[in-house]
Amino acid sequence: MADIAQRAQSMVRKDDKGGFPAQTQEPPGSFQVMDPVPDHGEETYQGHGRLTGMKALITGGDSGIGRAVAIAFAREGADVAINYLEPEESDASDTIDWIERAGRKGVKVPGDIRDRATCEQIVAEAVEQLGGLDILVNNAGFHWDKSEPGIAHMAAEHVERVFRTNLHGTFYVTQAAVENMQSGGAIINTTSVQAYEPSPTLLDYAATKAALTNFTVNLAKELGPKGIRVNAVAPGPIWTPLQPATRPEEKIETFGANTPLGRAGQPAEVAPAYVFLASPSDASYVSGTVLGVTGGESVF
């Protein structure tokens, strides 16, 4: 992890504002044109066989945190299916290449999880091509931070997309996945520090992440007797395509600078939290927990 942290620190602007060069993209965005390109652990993550023989589905697995988790899972010995939107095909193909370089099977299951039938199809295809399902990572998410602060300025289409992607999609993917999971399985949801320290311009996003925190704890109680663990990771500001695609350029220049560590995190710095929670040995007695990876911000 020291090498990853040092590389992440070197990517931060060397001035008094922190953050990154001003830039913008259209949603959903691509990591390939970001400046700098995020570190997903391509050159640094080393596996130790924690997930040998397991089969995982990751939503939003083409880029950002999902891509870093996919690479880490593969290097830990898991076969991995990634879900993504069709405009993200190039990023997805590159991620599959890294999974296969690790000697594991990589499966692409594109589709928009805002639609319930699509959620069911995504899970069915992943299960069929992987030959089962042991780990589900609900990572796909959306926010929109280009509006003025306040509920009056939030466009209906953005609010609808945020709720349907972050909350509805997670619910329906999980519902379909649980039918295919056995004792020893793990579900990991991506919530956010916004669930605990919400920003006025992310009112809808923060609400969905708070709901996912409750969903995690509640589902852990239901599935515990079945031997399925349910946990969540709450990232702070992480350098992913969601940032230049959904934030104003001027906010990119200071993105992450207000954390106690003084910078945004890299996806590679978040992935080990998912590996820990997915591991049937390391986290065998961990369920109903939210693990913060926030650069020092509180998730309590």
Residue 65 belongs to a domain:
yes
- Identify whether 192 is part of a domain: yes
The answer to whether residue 133 sits within a structural domain is yes
Q: Are 148 and 187 in contact (CB under 8 A)?
A: no
Q: Check which CATH number belongs to the domain holding 110 and give it.
A: 3.40.50.720
Of 45, 172, 196, 205, the active-site residue reads: 205
Task: Evaluate whether residue 299 is within a structural domain.
Answer: no
Query: Which residue range forms the structural domain that includes residue 91?
Result: 2-293
Q: Is residue 300 part of a domain?
A: no
**Is residue 298 one of the residues assigned to a domain?**
no
Burial class (CB in 10 A: 0-12, 13-18, 19+), 140: buried
Q: How far apart are CA 38 and CA 159, in angstroms?
A: 27
Look at the chain and report how many structural domains it folds into: 1
Per-residue pLDDT at 11 exceeds 70: no
**Residue 28 to residues 37, 60, 74, 88, 172, Cα–Cα distance (Å):** 16, 10, 24, 7, 21
> 69 in a domain, yes or no?
yes
pTM score, two decimals? Answer: 0.94
Helices vs strands, H then E, count in the chain: 10, 7
Determine, yes or no, domain membership for 66.
Answer: yes
pLDDT in tens, 22-55: 999 999 999 999 999 999 999 999 999 999 999 9
Q: By C-alpha distance, which of 77, 18, 9 is closest to 259?
A: 18
**pLDDT tier, 153 (very low <50, low <70, confident <90, very high otherwise):** confident
Token duo for residue 130: 């992987």
Active site residue 45: no
Q: Which residues contact 178 (CB under 8 A, 6 or more apart)?
A: 187, 223, 228
Q: Which tens digit of pLDDT belongs to each residue from 102-152? A: 999 999 999 999 999 999 999 999 999 999 999 999 999 999 987 777 898
